[in-house]
Chain A
Amino acid sequence: MSLLEVSDLRVSFPTADGVVKAVRGVSFSVDTGRTLGIVGESGSGKTVLTQTLLGLAPGGQVSGQALFDGTDLLSLRPEQLRKVRGAEIAVIFQDPLTSLHPLYRVGWQIREMIRSHDKSVSKSQAQERAVELLARVGIPQPRQRVNDYPHQFSGGMRQRVMIAMALSLSPKMIIADEPTTALDATVQAQILDLLLQLQQESDTALIMITHDLGVVADIADDVLVMYAGRAAEKASKHDIFYRPHHPYTKGLLESIPNSSAAGERLKPITGQPPSLINLPSGCAFHPRCTYVMDRCLTEEPSLVAVGDAGEHRSACWLPVAAAGTAAEAEEIRRRAVGAGRHDAAVKVAEEIASAPESEGSVI
């Protein structure tokens, strides 16, 4: 049994304009010592997904199950969840400046975190622990720095403080939500390195939410690709990058500027991500998909195994064998599309072909 097992999680938010279906039936699991990368564009539901687990997305209508160490997180009362948060599952957010209180010294903030979960720890013990933690995340002169305010730290150092805070109660799982997006490349490398090193030392499970496929390629073991609130594809890192099945995954990989083709035209995914209030019929990706077939317009595909071990799963009507980027896979796709495409799908495909880059609809 995995440390975290989420099954059929659904989250929607009623608004004046309609119901925003942010997460529409997502299942995944994370094991101790493993890293799950969750990738997707803005609005794909990746942040809502994890915030819901921790009760940080209030106002949502939630259904499904999220077993953490045998307890269903979604059924916990707020005060019970508060005990889990921080102590069992820690979160690191994107923006370290707004996640630290500007008026308190960082040492005070780490101390507070420790003492709010365990009252038996004295102030001086907690202070000592804060110094140790700052040293552990690589902050020089921790004994002096512990008395500094957040603004006295640089962006990378602030993110280290956030990590120190996340580690303070030795959680079993860390959720990192775009932890390096606001940082420069060289600092990002430092932080990713640190996260991995700490994870290996204490065998923590890590969920890394990011839009950057480079970060995923670097540190994830398994990858969940999200599109419009659903899992498009779920596989080991190598399958996602070298044998993608879902056209969305393939499109994401192809739209990254690549050193081997510098100066050539990029291959973007056409169009825009859909509005979560007014989702397209059938597969939510069909208005942007080059391989659209008739079936895609009416029926929503569910995640099915496309690899031998059953670990590689994709939510797409293309044949199972259409995984990969090689010519054979392309040929299988082409034949499947030829057989499955009639009136409506032909129209959608022509629209995509005739306007290779126009962003048709306004959200």
Chain B
Amino acid sequence: MSETLPSAPARAGLDGADDVLVRVDNLVKYFPVKGGGLVSRTVAHVQAVDGVSLTIGRGQTIGLVGETGCGKSTLARCIAGLIPVTSGTVTFEGQNITNLPRRRMQPYRREIQMIFQDPYGSLNPRRRVGSIIGDPFAVHKTATGSERKKAVQELMERVGLNPEHYNRYPAEFSGGQRQRIGVARALALKPKLIICDEPVSALDVSIQAQVLNLLADLQQDFGLSYLFIAHDLEVVRHVSNSVIVMYLGRVAEAGPRDPVYDAPRHPYTNALLSAAPAADPDAAAARQRIILSGDVPSPINPPAGCRFHPRCPKAQERCGQEVPPLEVKAGDPATHVTSCHFPVQEGEVLARAGRTAGRPQR
């Protein structure tokens, strides 16, 4: 694993961040896989996150993209301290908070909050909205009684819910409104970092825009930092200052938003961007889509060398042997790093002469 250690400049999200809020260094998270039998032994490891480094600046939004199983949610949970990390460090405002015992972690839990994907599953259906949003106050013993109720109603108003609905149950709200409840709960203790794990994936497009605008307003008002996880590349482009593209537990490419989207260097980033559906028929017809073959391999037994090589249209022998370092490629800004032996050059066409390339218009 030593060869995966990124060198000093190979960090994602350094975009103008002199004011660093969170620093993650070479974070590794392996989940043991137990074998059958009477005495369960660990027979393998799911290498969910394997050596990721990143920096989140104050007031910044870092977008984290990748396919199912690439480790983006695991990484987020490690940063939030919800699961112990295998190795590496998480630093919050200069303090090392990696694997802190429960009591010492408590003050940091206030500073780092999460918003989850499923607005149906993340709210207890039997509890009233007011008490759900008031939970953080109760847990951290910061407000009680009428003071708490007032604070909750202010929060509800701030996220665009009617404060009079304090006594309603989650079932009485629509999907978009439930996501607002989740946002209000995350905001309660005035955190510095909110980790948004697919916050709008379950919402319809018109409602999604409402929630994204709300998140942008809150960021401006409270100087929040976001770690924004999503599989929708256009959403991530819209909200992020910097973007990290993960593949099978590792960073494939990272950098400021525009260079990554406009001139992606990693073949995987190129494939992802070309696969994302564009709501524009002419653009869709003109696009040279890179169709990757196969599925994401198992993180229990990831491919040797570059983990993307079995699906990569540019793969050569070297890719199956050597792990490509995450480094700045020639001509890129110093904050744009790519882990690839044969980065995509400007004007290079990766799409194979497939049927999608230049499909006839009917």
**Pick from A42, A189, A214, A216: contact of B204, CB under 8 Å:** A42
Name the residue of chain A whose CB is nearest to the CB of B258. A262
Q: How far is the CA of A193 from the CA of B356 in the complex (A)?
A: 7
**Bound state CA distance, A187 and B68, in angstroms?**
11
Q: Which residue of A lies closest to B214 (CB)?
A: A357
Q: What separation, in Å, do the CA atoms of A13 and B274 have in the docked complex?
A: 42
Q: Which residues of A contact B210 (CB under 8 A)?
A: 268, 270, 357, 359
- Using C-beta atoms within 8 Å of the partner chain, give the interface range for chain A: 35 or more
The prevalent SS among residues of B at the interface is: helix
CA distance A22 to B206 in the complex (A): 20
> A162 CB to closest chain B CB, in angstroms?
16
Query: Does B342 reach chain A (CB closer than 8 Å)?
Result: no
Nearest CB on A from B171, distance (A): 10
Query: Is B87 an interface residue, CB under 8 A from the partner?
Result: no
A202: interface (CB < 8 Å)? no
Contact of B168 among A190, A213, A362 (CB under 8 A): A362
Docked pose: A278 CA to B172 CA in angstroms: 15
Expressed in whole angstroms, the minimum distance between the Cβ of B21 and any Cβ of chain A is 20
- What 0/1 readout, one digit per residue, does chain A (258-294) give for beta carbons within 8 Å of chain B? 1100110111111011000000000000000000000
Knowing A255-B205, A259-B234, A269-B206 are in contact, say whether A190-B281 is a contact too (CB < 8 A).
no
CA distance A294 to B222 in the complex (A): 41
A257→B235 contact, CB < 8 A: yes
Q: Are B234 and A266 in contact (CB under 8 A)?
A: no
Q: Is the CB of B279 within 8 A of A255?
A: no
Does B25 interact with chain A (Cβ within 8 Å)?
no
Write the B238-281 contact mask toward A (1 if CB under 8 angstroms, else 0).
Answer: 11000000000000000001000100000000011011111111
Interchain nearest-CB distance for B257 vs A (Å): 7
Given A41-B204, A211-B205, A217-B284: A257 in contact with B212 (beta carbons within 8 A):
yes
Give the residues from 214 to 272 in chain A that come closer than 8 angstroms, CB to CB, to chain B: 214-218, 221, 237-238, 241-242, 251-253, 255-259, 262-263, 265-270, 272
Judged by a CB distance under 8 angstroms, whether B302 is at the interface is no
A-B contact count, CB below 8 Å? 152
Q: Which residue of A lies closest to B162 (CB)?
A: A362
On whether the beta carbons of B234 and A362 are closer than 8 Å, the reply is no
* B167-211 CB contacts (< 8 Å) to partner A: 168, 172-177, 180, 204-210
CA distance A188 to B289 in the complex (A): 12
Given A265-B213, A359-B176, A362-B168, verify A258-B234 contact (CB < 8 Å): yes
The reply on A1 being an interface residue by CB < 8 A is no
Interface flag for B292 (CB, 8 Å): yes
Q: How far is the CB of B358 from chain A (nearest CB, A)?
A: 13
Report B-chain residues with C-beta under 8 Å of the C-beta of A212.
Answer: 277
B111 at the interface (CB under 8 A from A): no
Given contacts A357-B213, A359-B210, A362-B177, contact A217 B277 (CB under 8 A): yes
Which parts of A138-173 form the interface with B (CB within 8 Å)? 154-157
Q: Is A128 an interface residue (CB 8 A)?
A: no
How far does the Cβ of A97 sit from chain B's closest Cβ, in whole Å?
13
Tell me how far the C-beta of A136 lies from the nearest C-beta in chain B, rounded to whole angstroms.
15
Alpha-carbon separation in the docked complex, A176 to B284 (Å) = 20
A327 within 8 A of B: no
Name which residue of chain A comes closest to B273, CB basis.
A185
- B206 in contact with A41 (CB, 8 Å): yes
- Residue B362 interfacial (CB < 8 Å): yes
A185 touches B275 (CB 8 A): yes
Residue of B whose beta carbon sits closest to that of A266: B209
A362–B165 contact, CB under 8 A? yes
Contact yes or no, A253 B279, CB < 8 A: yes
Measured in the bound complex, the distance between the Cα atoms of B284 and A193 in whole Å is: 12
The answer to whether B279 touches A214, judged by C-beta atoms less than 8 angstroms apart, is yes
Given A193-B355, A257-B237, do A218 and B275 touch, yes or no (CB 8 Å)? no
- Given A42-B204, A362-B168, the answer on whether A218 and B277 have CB atoms closer than 8 Å is yes
Out of B238, B280, B291, B292, name the residue touching A241 (CB < 8 Å): B280
- A265–B283 Cα distance when bound, in Å, is 23
Q: How far is the CB of B221 from chain A (nearest CB, A)?
A: 14
* A259 to B, closest residue via Cβ: B237
Listed in ascending order, the chain B residues whose CB lies under 8 Å from chain A are 67-68, 160-162, 165, 168, 172-177, 180, 204-210, 212-214, 216, 231-235, 237-239, 257, 261, 271-272, 274-284, 289, 291-292, 295-296, 354-356, 359, 362
Listed by A's residue number, 14 A-B pairs whose Cβ atoms lie within 8 Å are A42-B204, A185-B276, A185-B277, A189-B356, A214-B277, A217-B284, A252-B206, A255-B205, A255-B208, A257-B237, A259-B261, A263-B239, A268-B210, A362-B173
User: Given A218-B278, A357-B214, 12 more contacts at CB 8 Å?
Assistant: A41-B206, A42-B175, A184-B231, A186-B292, A187-B67, A189-B356, A193-B356, A211-B204, A215-B277, A256-B234, A257-B212, A359-B180
